[in-house]
Amino acid sequence: MIDDELWSAIGDPTRRRMLDLLLADGGGTATSLSDKLPVTRQAVAKHLGVLDRAGLVHSTPSGRERRYTVDEVQLARAINQLTDVTDAWDRRLQRIKRIAESIEKRKEQS
């Protein structure tokens, strides 16, 4: 089953980039992320809120800010869901291919 909130969170390119940065750096704050992204600190904070609600990141106090880290279990869940969707589409495309080939054979035999 696909988790719409999870995929809505991952669907945004800025949030995907933030996840990449958090994974690469072992975590970060809204300020540290905004230094590496073409958006304001306030925009980063809003994106982090979306990721947090989807369970993709967790935060802990770090001085005057919060430090965010990726929840690797939730990220693995997202990857598994994506794999399931990919497999389902591969099966559908194979069926479409077989139907198209069957139609083409019938045309050739006519």
Residues 6 or more apart whose CB falls under 8 angstroms from that of 80 comprise none
pLDDT (0 to 100) of residue 72? 92
Q: At what angle do helices 41-53 and 13-25 cross, to 10 degrees?
A: 90
pLDDT (0 to 100) of residue 17? 97
pLDDT of 26-69, one tens digit each?
A: 999 999 999 999 999 999 999 999 999 999 999 999 999 999 99
Q: How far apart are CA 51 and CA 58, in angstroms?
A: 9
> What pTM value is reported for the model?
0.77
pLDDT of 70-87, one tens digit each?
A: 999 999 988 888 888 889
Average pLDDT of the segment spanning 90-104: 93
